[in-house]
Chains A and B, each alone.
Chain A
Amino acid sequence: MSVITNIADSIVAELNAASLSHPLTAVRKFVPSFTLTEMKDLHVTVVPKAIQVTKADRTRNTFDAQIDIAIQKKFETGDLAEIDPLLDLVEEVADFFRLRRLDSYPAAHWMKTEHSPIYSQEHWDEMRQFTSVLTLTFRVVR
């Protein structure tokens, strides 16, 4: 299996085993595709995004794999009481992986987390849906 799918699968396994404020079931997909009617339930989708290979030393390379974690839920009112806990969950997920070496793929260690924008204004406006995407970078040297 490729480095990036190994990393994505390990992220899924660790998210599903984690004890977070919201119960969640993460799944890996190449293309997260849903209908709006499905989105009343929380969806957490792990998507392999990109990989960059650079020279590490004379015999090894550095593989920096970017993985997106999309956290999505259609909201009822969009008020602070409904959205703040979702953003808390996104931060919990980000914190969960920060400085982490993946248990089921220990060759990969965390390098960076990007979270911009913190939610999709387009999904908010046109679907009344919270969509927040974290991009994690994990490094493997081999």
Chain B
Amino acid sequence: MSDVLEAGSNWLQQQRKQHASRNVIYRRSSKFVEVLATVGRTQFEQDDGTGAIIRTEVRDYLIDTDDLLLGGNKAIPGRGDRIEEVDGDQRFIYEVVPIGSEPHWRYSDPYRKTYRIHTKHIDTEAI
């Protein structure tokens, strides 16, 4: 018997990918892949745990698990991996990190089709 909820969720993920995503580069050292990603939550965070305040933009990316291929193999997101997003003449670089009590990624749906990857903005380059 088919799972109607799973079929519906998969359809929604397809729609998200087709209509609400952009091309980004997912990079781990010298390996990289161009994937379609949906920009999720974006907010600013301030950390003053040690008395030294660090402000940063926090951004989530939603990426299909089947698309995240590094060196031809399926990969799970790793701490320190980078996501590069080009906007006009600038390249925005985000680094994969945990956020608060959450690990650096989790599945975005109950059927493990999409990663929700937490990142922080670490650099902007002119291109």
Q: Which A residues contact B (CB, under 8 angstroms)? A: 31-37, 39-40, 45, 47, 68, 70, 72, 74, 76-78, 120, 122-123, 125-129, 131, 133
B95: A residues at CB distance < 8 A:
128
Chain B CB within 10 Å, residue with most, of A31, A32, A36: A36
* Complexed CA–CA distance, A127 and B98 (Å): 8
> Are B97 and A127 in contact, CB atoms less than 8 angstroms apart?
yes
Smallest Cβ distance from B60 to chain A, in angstroms? 15
Interface presence of B106 (CB below 8 A): no
- Besides A37-B56, A37-B124, A125-B97, 8 more A-B contacts (Cβ < 8 Å) are A35-B54, A47-B51, A70-B50, A78-B80, A120-B50, A122-B47, A126-B97, A131-B52
* Residues from chain B with Cβ under 8 Å of A40 in the complex: 122-123
Majority SS at the chain A contact face: mixed
* B120 / chain A contacts, CB cutoff of 8 Å: 36, 126-127
A32–B98 alpha-carbon span in the complex (Å) = 23
Given A77-B80, A126-B47, A32:B52 Cβ within 8 A: yes
Q: Mark B101-125, 1 if CB is under 8 A from A, else 0.
A: 0000000000000000000111110
List chain A residues, Cβ under 8 A from B50: 70, 120, 122-123, 131, 133
Inter-chain contacts of A123 with B (CB < 8 A)? 47, 49-50, 54
Chain B residues numbered 38-85 whose CB sits less than 8 Å from any CB in chain A = 47, 49-56, 79-80
Task: State the total of A-B contacts with C-beta under 8 angstroms.
Answer: 72
A123-B47, A126-B47 known; A36 vs B53 contact (CB < 8 Å): no
Contact A122 B49 (CB under 8 A): yes
Q: Is the C-beta of B20 less than 8 angstroms from some C-beta in chain A? A: no
Please measure, in the bound complex, the distance between the C-alpha atom of A96 and the C-alpha atom of B56, giving whole angstroms.
33
**B56/A36 in contact, CB under 8 A:** yes
Question: Complex formed: what's the CA distance from A94 to B113 in Å?
Answer: 51
Q: Could you tell me the distance in whole angstroms from the C-beta of B95 to the nearest C-beta in chain A?
A: 6
Q: How far is the CA of A127 from the CA of B46 in the complex (A)?
A: 11
Q: Are B122 and A36 in contact (CB under 8 A)?
A: yes
With both beta carbons as reference points, the residue of chain B lying nearest to A74 in the complex is identified as B122
- For the complex, is B12 an interface residue (Cβ under 8 Å from A)? no
Provide the residues of chain A in CB contact with B122, threshold 8 Å.
36-37, 40, 74
